[in-house]
A and B are shown apart, each in its own frame.
Chain A
Amino acid sequence: MMTRDLLALGPMLITAGGAVVLLLALAVCRSHAFASAWSVLVLAAALAAIPMTWPGAPASGDLLNLLAIDSWALAFWGIIFGSALVVCLLGFEYFRPLAVQAEEFYVLVLLSATGAAVLAAADHFATVFLGLELLSVSLFALAAYRRDQAISIEAGIKYLVLAGTSSALLLFGLALLYFHTASLRLSGLAGPLLAGHPDTIALYAGIALVLVAMGFKLGLAPMHVWTPDVYQGSPAPVSALVGSVSKAGAMAFMVRLAGVTLTGTPGVRNGVFYGLLVLAIASMFTGNLLALRQPNIKRLLAYSSIAHMGYCLLAVLPMAAGAALDRQAVFYYMLAHAVSILGAFGCVCAASENGREAQHVEDYRGLAWRRPVLAGVFSLMLLSLAGIPLTAGFLGKFYVLASGVRNALWLPAVCLVINSGIGLFYYLRVLGTLYQREEAESPDQFATSTAPSALLQPSPQLLLTHLTLAALVVLLIYFGLMPALASLPM
Chain B
Amino acid sequence: MALALAAEGPIWPLGVYFVLVVVLAAGILAFSYVLGQRHRQQATDVPYESGMTPTGGARLRFPVDFYLVAMFFVIFDLESVFLFVWAVAVRELGWAGYVEVLIFMAVLLAALAYLWRSGALDWRASGSKPAPDKERGQ
Contacts and interface: CB of A to CB of B under 8 A. Distances in A.
Contact of A180 (B2, B6, B113, B114): B2
Contacts of A20: 106-107, 110
B84 interface: no
A24 B110 contact: yes
B70 interface: no
B3 interface: yes
A182 B1 CA distance: 6
Contacts of A27: 110, 113-114, 116-118
B116 to A, nearest CB: 7
Contacts of B106: 20
A182 B2 CA distance: 8
B2 A198 contact: yes
Given A20-B107, A20-B110, A26 B118 contact: yes
A20 B1 CA distance: 42
B58 interface: no
Interface in B1-30: 1-6
Interface string B34-59: 00000000000000000000000000
Contacts of A23: 110-111, 114
A200 B107 CA distance: 42
Contacts of A21: 110
A23 B106 CA distance: 12
A26 B5 contact: no
A28 B118 CA distance: 9
Contacts of A99: none
Nearest to B6: A201
Say which size band chain B's interface belongs to.
10 to 19
Say which size band chain A's interface belongs to.
10 to 19
A410 interface: no
A202 B110 contact: no
Contacts of B114: 23-24, 26-27
A66 B1 CA distance: 21
B113 to A, nearest CB: 5
A179 interface: yes
B3 A180 contact: yes
Contacts of B116: 27
Contacts of B113: 24, 27
Nearest to B109: A24
A197 interface: yes
A194 B1 CA distance: 8
A27 B114 CA distance: 5
A201 B117 contact: no
Contact of B2 (A24, A26, A28, A197): A197
A490 to B, nearest CB: 32
- Residue of A24, A179, A194 with most chain B CB atoms under a 10 A cut-off: A24
Contacts of A194: 2
Interface string B80-118: 000000000000000000000000001100110110111
B4 A28 contact: no
A148 to B, nearest CB: 17
Interface in A185-203: 194, 197-202
A201 B118 contact: no
B5 A202 contact: yes
A113 B6 CA distance: 41
B84 to A, nearest CB: 19
Contacts of B5: 179, 200-202
A215 B6 CA distance: 28
Contacts of A179: 3, 5
A21 B113 CA distance: 11
B118 A197 contact: no
Contacts of B117: 26-28
Contacts of A199: 2
A27 B109 CA distance: 12
A23 B118 CA distance: 10
B3 A200 contact: yes
Contacts of B1: 182, 197
B98 to A, nearest CB: 14
- Residue of A27, A179, A202 with most chain B CB atoms under a 10 A cut-off: A27
A21 to B, nearest CB: 8
A462 B110 CA distance: 33
Interface in A151-201: 179-180, 182, 194, 197-201
Contacts of A28: 117
A202 B106 CA distance: 41
Contacts of A198: 2
A290 to B, nearest CB: 37
B125 to A, nearest CB: 15
A473 B118 CA distance: 39
B56 to A, nearest CB: 29
B50 to A, nearest CB: 42
B32 to A, nearest CB: 35
B2 A200 contact: yes
Contacts of A24: 110, 113-114
A179 B6 CA distance: 12
A202 B2 CA distance: 10
- Residue of B2, B6, B106, B111 with most chain A CB atoms under a 10 A cut-off: B2
7 contacts: A21-B110, A26-B117, A179-B5, A198-B2, A199-B2, A200-B2, A202-B5
The 9 closest A-B pairs by CB, nearest first: A197-B2, A27-B117, A202-B5, A27-B114, A27-B113, A23-B114, A201-B5, A24-B110, A20-B110
Given A20-B110, A26-B117, A27-B110, 4 more contacts: A26-B118, A179-B5, A194-B2, A202-B5
